[in-house]
Amino acid sequence: MLVVMPHGSLSRPANMLRFAPGALSPHERAKVMAAMQRRFVKELLQDIIPQVEKLFRVRTGAEEQALAGLSMDGGQTLAVLTSHPDQFGYVGTAGCCGVWATTTSRRFVFCRYPSLS
């Protein structure tokens, strides 16, 4: 088994809006956050996985790969799952807030934590 743990916090683009109270509407903020999630998905699928497959002798294909994340990385895991559901055979998340996904597959298990607010 090979475990790869990339740095999930991609550097922010120079033109990215800062989150000051009241500066963005909830809809605008959600659009910015979704764009950041897409950047992570792209980096994982187009850069990280191909590099791992090039450098290490690993089995490829969804049934041979798993993805998991905690907190922010759990949200990134769900972003990958919802946009590329056929890419990973096993997925796990814990403690990710604000991003929800549903699936009928028995391979995926999600825990929903009650809001603390």
Paired tokens of 24: 């963005």
Say if 21 falls within a structural domain: no
Number of structural domains (the chain) is 1
Domain ranges, residue 79: 26-109
Say if 34 falls within a structural domain: yes
Mean pLDDT over residues 53-80, rounded?
A: 86
Say if 114 falls within a structural domain: no
Say if 6 falls within a structural domain: no
d(CA 11, CA 68): 21
The HSE-up count of residue 22 (CA atoms within 13 Å, CB side) is 0
Q: Is the pLDDT of residue 22 over 50?
A: yes
The larger pLDDT score, comparing residue 101 to residue 27, is at 27
Say if 84 falls within a structural domain: yes
Distances (CA, A) of 56 to 4, 8, 50, 53, 64: 11, 21, 10, 6, 14
Highest mean pLDDT of the ranges 29-33, 74-78, 82-86, 104-108: 82-86
| pTM for the whole structure | 0.68
